[in-house]
Chains A and B, each alone.
Chain A
Amino acid sequence: MKLKLATLALTGLMAAAPAMADLVFPSLSYRTGPYAAGGIPFADGYADYFTLLNERDGGIGGVMTKVIECETGYNTEKGVECYEATKGEGSLVYQPLSTGITYQLIPKVTADGIPLHTMGYGRTSAANGKVFSHVFNYPANYWDGASIAVNHLLDINGGDLSGKKIALVYHNSAYGKEPIRTLEELSAKHGYELTTIAVDHPGQEQKSQWLQIRRERPDYVLMWGWGVMNQVAIQEAANIRFPMENFIGVWWSGSENDVLPAGDGANGYKSLALHGTGSDYPIYADIQKYVVDAGKAAGAGDQIGTVLYSRGLYAAMLAAEAAKKAQEIHGTADITPAMMRDGMEALEITAEILEANGLPGFGPEFKVSCENHGGPGLGMVQQWDASAKKWNIITDMIQSDKSVIDALVKEDSEAFAAENNIEMRCN
C-alpha cells in the first residue's frame, strides 16, 4: 500500500509538471553538507536576482522567470537526479556550481540541447566552442586563474620568479587537479619550483599537509579549495605562522566564510576575484526594496552582500542578459533552451550593460563567440582586512597568459573531440 501510494504520489508529481510559460532557470544548489558554506550564498544570490527581475521589471522581456531549486549536496549522483528531474520543465541553462557535476552534465546537456554555464569552474577546455557546443565558462576559468595568480606573483617580484618555490594546496578531485597542468607549464616558463599537495574530501584534516609546508618553506602557497577545506587551510596557515600575504586562494577560496573563523590570523590573506566585492553597488538598493523588504529573499536572507552572494548575482545576471539576447535574436519572448544557447554564444557584456543592471565596473567587458566560450580570462586580486572584516581589491584586472593557456585548451579539447568523435564547429 505504502509503495502504491508512493508510486501514485510520484506519478502525480511527474504529471503535474506541464510546459509552463515562465522562463525556467534551475538552480542545482547545495544548502547541506560540507560545501554548504559556499553553496548557500551563491544559491541565495542566484534566486534573489531573478526575484528582483520579476518584481521590478516584470521578468525578462515581459515573461516572468522562475527558479527551481534542487538540492544536490555537491554529490554527483544527486546532481544527475536533479538534472533529470528539472530538464523536462523547460530549463534554459544549468549552473551546477560543482566541477564533478559539470563533468557529469557536459555530455548530457549536449545530447539534450540545453546550455550549461560554468562560471569560473567546470571543465576548462570547454572554453573551446569549436568542440563544446553547449558548454560555456566565461568570463574566466581555472587555467586563467592559475595564470592570473602567477602573473600577480610576477608583478610583486619584479617579473622574475626563477628559483622561487610555490606550493599548490588542492582539493583532491577534478576541481583541484585542474590548475596543475597550467602551473607546470608556467613553472617551465618562469623557472619556479612547483610542489603539489593534495587534500582529500572534505578537507577537515590538513595537519600533515601544513606540516609539509612548514618543512619545505615554500615562498608562496596557492590554494584550490572549496567548502570547509578553505577555513581549515587558512586556520592551519595561521597556526604555522605562514605569512598570509604569500598565501593566495583561487576565487572559490576567497569568501567571508573562509577567513572569518581564523580571526585576526587571516589578516592579509589574498584571493583571486572574478568580480567586484562589497555591497556598495546600486543594485543592492533595489534588492533591499523589491526583494528583502517584500519578504521574498531566498534562504535566511543573511548572505546579502557577501562575496559568493554577489557571485550568484553575477551568474544570474549573465544568464538573464543571455536570455535577453536570445529574445532579441529570435524575436520571441518565450525562448527555448536552443535559443538560449544562441543568446549565450552572442552575449556581449559592455560597461553600459553592467551599469544598467546596477553593477557598474563589477566585472570585465567581454564578448562570447562561436569559437571562444571562455571569455577574456581577466581577474583581480583581493585581500582580507581582518580588522575591518572586509575584502579589498588590490589590483586592476590582470590578464592571464593566453599564449600558454590557449595551447593547453586546444590540446585538451581536441583530445576530448577525438575520444568522442565530435566534429569541429564554427568553420
Chain B
Amino acid sequence: MLYREAGDFNTSYKQDGQTFPIRFDRYRYYAVLAVAFGVIPFIINDYWANAVFVPFLIYAIAAIGLNILTGYCGQVSLGTGGFMAVGAYACYKLMTGFPDVSIVIHVILSGGITAAVGVLFGLPSLRIKGFYLAVATLAAQFFLVWLFNKVPWFYNYSASGQINAPERSVFGIIVTGPNTEAWAKYMICLVFVVACAWIARNLTRGASGRRWMAIRDMDIAAEIIGVNPLGAKLTAFAVSSFFIGIAGALFFAVYLGAVEVGEAFGINKSFLVLFMIIIGGLGSIFGSFAGAAFMVLLPVLLKNVLVGGLGWATDLAAHLEFMIVGGLIVMFLIVEPHGLAQLWRLTKEKLRLWPFPH
C-alpha cells in the first residue's frame, strides 16, 4: 500500500533512469539523508561518534570499494587491509609533508595513490582468476604491511613505528587530532561516504559498471561482445582501491588518530571487510552499508547488553560475542546467501503487493 509504483508516472527518460524510480523509495532516501545531515550532528556525543557512527561510515566506504571489485567485477581480493594501510600512510606522509594543504585534498590524494598501488597489484588478475587471484592479493596484504613496518621513511623515523595524525581543520573546524568535536568527526566521514556512495552507484549503473558485471558473469563472453578485460579489470581495481584508500586515510586520520600498521591493517581487516560485503550482499551498494552496520554495530550492541545491561563478566561477554556473531554469520549464509541486500529486496517485493498479495 505504501510502497508501490501505481500512480507514479515517468514522463521523461531521465525520470525513468533515476536511481530510485519509486516515489516512496526516493522520499525514504531523502529522509535518511535529512536525518543524517540535519539531526544526528546535533545530538551526537563522543561515544556514539567514536564507537558507532565513525567506524560504521568508514567501513561502509571500504565495503563499497571492495564490493566494486568483488561484487561487481568478480575479482576476489584479500588485500583490503593492505590497501587501507596505503591510504593511511599516504595520508600521513601528505599531512606531515604539506601541512598547509587541506586535509580533504590529502584524503582524496591518498585514495589516488592507493588506486595506483591497487592497479599494480591488480595486474596479475589478467592472468589468474578465482582462488589464485585471492592468493595474489593476499601477498599484497602481507607485503604492504611488511613494507610499512620495515621502511622507517613511511613513519617519519619515529622510535615506535607509530604514525600520529596532527591536528588539521576544514573551514576552520578541527577534524583530526584529539580536540575534534564529535559532530565534526561524524560530518567529515558522512560527506565522504555520501560522495563515495553516489559515485559508486552511478559508476555501477553506467557503462563501466556494465563492463565489470559482464566480466564477472563470464569473462570470455564479455570479451567476445567487445569488453576489454584489461581495461575493465584494471579500472575495477583502481576504483575499488581508490575508495579503500579513502577509507584507510579516514580510519587513520579521523577515527583512530594513531595507528600501528600490523595491528590496525592486518589480515583481520581484510577478512572483516570481506565478511561485510558477503553478509551485506555482493554487488549492491545498499549491501555494503548493511554489512558494515552489521559487523560494526552488533559487537558493540552485544557488549553493551551483556556487560552493561546484564552485568556479566567481561571475558564471558567477549567470548559469547564471538559465538553469537559467528553463529549469525553462518545462519545468514545458509538462510540468505545473497545477504542482507537480498532480504531488503524481498521485503520490497512483498511490500509492493501488501496488503493484497494476490
- A residues near B (Cβ < 8 Å) are 6, 9-10, 12-14, 29, 31-32, 36, 40, 69-71, 73, 75-77, 80-81, 84-85, 87-88, 99-100, 103-104, 106-108, 110-112, 123-125, 172-175, 177-178, 180-181, 198, 200-201, 299, 412, 419-421
Of the residues B255, B259, B308, contact of A13 by C-beta under 8 Å = B308
Q: B167 on the interface (CB 8 Å rule)?
A: yes
Please, which residues of chain B bring their CB within 8 A of the CB of A76? 256, 258-260, 263-264
Sort A-B residue pairs by CB-CB distance and give the 6 closest, nearest first: A31-B315, A107-B178, A174-B160, A111-B178, A71-B314, A81-B51
A110 touches B160 (CB 8 A): no
Known: A31-B315, A99-B160, A174-B161. A13 touches B263 (CB 8 A): no
Residue B229 at the A interface, CB < 8 A? no
Point out the residues of chain B lying under 8 angstroms from A71, CB to CB.
303, 307, 314-315, 317-318
CB-based contact B266/A108 at 8 Å:
no
A173 touches B262 (CB 8 A): yes
Q: What is the minimal beta-carbon distance from A9 to any residue of chain B, in angstroms?
A: 6
- Nearest-Cβ distance from residue A397 to partner chain B, whole angstroms: 26
Count how many pairs of residues, one from A and one from B, have CB atoms less than 8 Å apart in the complex.
Answer: 118
Chain B residues with Cβ below 8 Å from A75 are 263
Whether B42 sits at the interface, judged by CB under 8 Å, is: no
The answer, yes or no, to whether B102 is at the interface (CB within 8 Å) is no
Q: A10-B301, A71-B307, A81-B51 are in contact. List 15 more A-B contacts (CB 8 A).
A: A13-B309, A14-B47, A32-B319, A73-B318, A77-B256, A80-B50, A80-B51, A84-B50, A84-B51, A85-B47, A88-B46, A100-B263, A103-B164, A172-B149, A177-B160
* One of A32, A88, A100, A412 near B159 (C-beta < 8 A): A412
Using A77-B55, A177-B159 as known contacts, say yes or no to A200 and B262 having CB atoms under 8 A apart.
Answer: yes
Which residue from chain B places its CB closest to the CB of A201 in the assembled complex?
B262
Q: Say whether A88 contacts B47, CB under 8 Å.
A: yes
Nearest Cβ distance between residue A422 and chain B, in whole angstroms? Answer: 11
With A104-B258, A108-B178, A174-B161 already in contact, the answer to whether A70 and B47 are too (CB < 8 A) is: no
In the complex, residue of chain A having the shortest beta-carbon distance to the beta carbon of B262: A201
17 sampled A-B residue pairs with Cβ under 8 A: A6-B297, A9-B305, A12-B309, A32-B318, A36-B315, A71-B317, A76-B260, A81-B50, A81-B300, A84-B46, A110-B178, A111-B178, A174-B161, A177-B160, A178-B160, A419-B166, A420-B166
Complex alpha-carbon distance, A40 and B314, angstroms: 11
| In the complex, B337 has a CB within 8 A of chain A | no
A80 and B262 contact, Cβ closer than 8 Å, known pairs A103-B160, A111-B178, A178-B159:
no
**With A70-B314, A172-B149, A201-B266 in contact, is A13–B256 under 8 Å at CB?**
no
Q: Which B residue's beta carbon lies closest to that of A7?
A: B301
| Residue B162 at the chain A interface, CB threshold 8 Å | yes
Could you tell me the distance between the alpha carbons of A111 and B305 in the complex, rounded to whole angstroms?
29
Fill in one digit per residue for B72-114: 1 if any A CB lies within 8 Å of its CB, else 0: 0000000000000000000000001000000000000000000
Cα separation A32 to B316 with both chains bound (whole Å): 9
The answer to the question of B41 belonging to the interface, with a C-beta cut-off of 8 Å to chain A, is no
- Cα A108 to Cα B308 in complex, Å, equals 23
Which residue of the partner chain A has the closest CB to B314? A71
Given A32-B318, A77-B256, A173-B262, decide whether A123 and B160 contact each other with a Cβ distance below 8 A: yes
A75 and B258 alpha carbons, distance in the complex (Å)? 13
Whole-angstrom distance between the Cβ of B304 and the nearest chain A Cβ: 5
Q: Give B residues with C-beta under 8 Å from A.
A: 46-47, 50-51, 55, 96, 149, 159-162, 164, 166-167, 177-179, 255-260, 262-264, 266, 297, 300-301, 303-305, 307-309, 313-315, 317-319
> How far is the CB of A282 from the nearest CB of chain B, in Å?
30
A residues near B160, Cβ cutoff 8 Å: 99, 103, 123, 174-175, 177-178
C-alpha gap A103/B258 in the complex (Å): 6
- Do A201 and B47 contact each other (CB < 8 Å), given the known contacts A104-B258, A111-B178? no
In the complex, A103 Cα to B160 Cα: how many Å?
10
Closest to A71 in B: B314
Residues of A within 8 A of B300 (CB): 81
User: With a CB–CB cut-off of 8 A, which chain B residues contact A31?
Assistant: 313-315, 318
- Give the residues in chain A near B46, CB-CB below 8 Å: 84, 87-88
User: Would B258 and A107 count as touching, CB distance under 8 A?
Assistant: yes
- Name which residue of chain B comes closest to A29, CB basis: B314
Smallest distance from the beta carbon of B318 to chain A beta carbons, Å?
4
